[in-house]
Amino acid sequence: MDIQIASLCDHAADYNGKLVLTGTFDTLAARAVPVVHPMCALALRLCFTQEDVGRHKLSINIINEDGESLDPKNMPIEPEFDVQLPPNVPFLTRNLIMNLQGLRFPKAGIYSIDIGCDGDLLMRLPLRIVHVEQSAENGAESQEA
């Protein structure tokens, strides 16, 4: 299994096998922490070959800088799926979209979205949460990560 595309975005859709992404991002800026992000999507495009035929377990986990799960009660998310390819078909792609609502980040810093399969980490997407403070003097903003 090969991950061809992995991104956090504002919106994702599968349109007749085409992965449509709107507003990809790797940083969230907020004036107060904790930060609750109302809605986003994790969009994946996976490519399978004949050697991938069979049952697999995907793993998706959002972790903090210490490697702790953002939501230990609900993560990792571990759906199981079967891969089947018709004979003489060299590869098959599938889009996977996971809508995420109400993600709560307790503090500014670096978080990661870990994507794995069958116990192996395949990809780690970084996500930076930035605390932005507005200066009272001139309306300028400063950041701290």
Highest mean pLDDT among 9-13, 31-35, 100-104: 9-13
pLDDT band at 134 (very low <50, low <70, confident <90, very high): confident
Structural domains in the chain, sorted by start: 2-144 (2.60.40.3880)
pLDDT digits (tens, 9 = 90+) for 67-89: 999 999 999 999 999 999 999 99
Beta pairing, strands 54-63 & 80-83: antiparallel
Tell me what the pLDDT averaged over the chain comes to. 93
pLDDT tens column, 18-54: 999 999 999 999 999 999 999 999 999 999 999 999 9
Structure tokens at 110: 């670096």
**C-alpha distances in Å from residue 138, one per residue of 134, 135, 142, 145:** 9, 6, 11, 22
Position 137 scores a pLDDT of 59
Residue 142's pLDDT is 55
Q: What is the pLDDT of residue 88?
A: 92
Q: Please tell me the predicted confidence (pLDDT) of residue 52.
A: 96
d(CA 30, CA 108): 9
Handedness of CA 117, 119, 124, 129 (dihedral sign): positive
pLDDT value, residue 103: 93
For the chain, what percent of residues have pLDDT higher than 70? 92
The pLDDT, as a whole number, for residue 133 is: 86
